[in-house]
Amino acid sequence: MFGLGFLEVFPLVLIFVSLFGIITTNNAIKTIIYMTILNAGVITFWIILGSEYGTTTLPPIMVDDIISQTNYLERMADPLPSALMITAIVIGFAVTAVLIIILISIFRRYRSTDWRVIVPLAKKDYKGEFKPFEEDIPATPYPAKGKGPIISEYIKYPGPGLKREEKGGVK
């Protein structure tokens, strides 16, 4: 189908799985994870493009070991996709870092990583009805003076924060 080779099916499976995940998950952290899987799938697809001879593909380096093999020029991998994908990987890394930074800000403001909580609170915020939480979460993940590690603070507010309403946080 669409002229796909055998190997190219695997990255497409990755892509479809991640798209399914993005559409179904309620957890913002998982959304970001699925996004990186999607990126990885696309990058793998590119890399496989450059090596149509499968496992017998040779690296594009002119050394004696490789030159001595039969049909070495034809069997060499296309170096351009690898060169381009290095850039794509770096960009993907940077984007993921920015996404996580924003997610930390979101968590500080809305105290949840669940889209079902974040979206209604953002709507309230838009209308000016949202009251920011008074107590502040420490900025660093390292133990502050006389306090335990912040990681436990995060665990206190579990992902699907739907029970927040019972605690009186959200009104």
Could you list the residues that contact another protein (CB under 8 A)? 2-3, 15, 19, 22-26, 28, 31-32, 35, 38-39, 42, 45-46, 49, 80-81, 84, 87-88, 91, 94-95, 98-99, 102-103, 105-106, 109-110, 115, 118-119, 122-123, 125-127, 130, 132
- CB nearer another protein, residue 79 or residue 149: 79
84 or 137: CB nearest another protein: 84
- Which CB atom, from 38 or from 58, has the smaller least distance to another protein? 38
Report in angstroms how near the CB of residue 29 gets to another protein at its nearest: 12
**Which DSSP string do the residues of 19-67 spell out, in sequence order?**
HHHHHH--BHHHHHHHHHHHHHHHHHHHHHHT-TTGGGPBPS---HHHH
In the complex with another protein, the residue whose CB is nearer, 65 or 100, is 100
Query: What is the rounded distance in angstroms from the CA atom of residue 12 to the CA atom of residue 45?
Result: 7
Cα separations in angstroms, 50 against 7, 59, 66, 75, 152: 12, 10, 17, 10, 46
